[in-house]
């Protein structure tokens, strides 16, 4: 069965990009969320296998969304999408329960390798 992915980013551009990288490689994007609140609601509803989570988003940041999702499911597999210069925020997200991170601009090989690694992790 294809791993089910929730993609959270306020930029449709970035959501498209992730989708185009991962869907041909056997992942299924089950929902796109445009902010942290939508991401938490979609996680609650769909229980995806993995979440890609942008950090800077309106309404609720990616870090706040990680905290809420981890409360719902401590074993949630969340990969942060960060830009260089956001190392402190990435560390905060990892401490809040995110499992790994990918850096923008996205490199397809790195995105796929990170998602596969996170899915294979024993939790």
Partner 1 sequence: MDLAKYRALFLEEAAEHLAEMSRALLELEKDVASSASIDVVFRAAHSIKGMAASLGYDPITEVAHALEDRMEGPRAAGRIDGAADLPLLFRALEGLERMLAVVRETGESPAADAELVGALAARAAEGGLKKKAPGRR
Binding site for partner 1 (CB under 8 A): 10-14, 16-17, 20, 56-58, 83-85, 104-106
Please report how close the Cβ of residue 104 comes to partner 1 at its closest, in angstroms: 5
Please report how close the Cβ of residue 1 comes to partner 1 at its closest, in angstroms: 28
Please report how close the Cβ of residue 38 comes to partner 1 at its closest, in angstroms: 15
> d(Cα 52, Cα 33) in Å, to the nearest integer?
10
Based on CB atoms, which residue is closest to partner 1, 33 or 76? 33
SS3 content of the chain, % helix, strand, coil (to 5): 50, 20, 30
Q: What is the dihedral of CA 7, 60, 43, 10, to 10 degrees?
A: -20
Based on CB atoms, which residue is closest to partner 1, 1 or 84? 84
- Residues 65, 8: contact at Cβ < 8 Å? yes
């Amino acid at each position: 069965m294809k791993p089910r992915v929730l993609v959270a980013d306020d930029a449709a551009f970035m959501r498209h990009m992730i989708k185009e990288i991962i869907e041909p490689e056997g992942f299924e994007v089950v929902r796109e969320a445009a902010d942290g609140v939508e991401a938490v609601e979609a996680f609650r509803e769909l229980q995806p296998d993995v979440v890609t989570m942008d950090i800077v988003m309106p309404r609720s940041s990616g870090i706040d969304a990680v905290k809420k999702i981890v409360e719902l499911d401590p074993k949630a597999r969340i990969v942060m999408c960060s830009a260089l210069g956001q190392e402190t925020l990435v560390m905060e997200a990892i401490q809040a329960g995110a499992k790994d991170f990918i850096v923008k601009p996205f490199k397809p090989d790195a995105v796929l390798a990170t998602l596969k690694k996170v899915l294979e992790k024993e939790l």
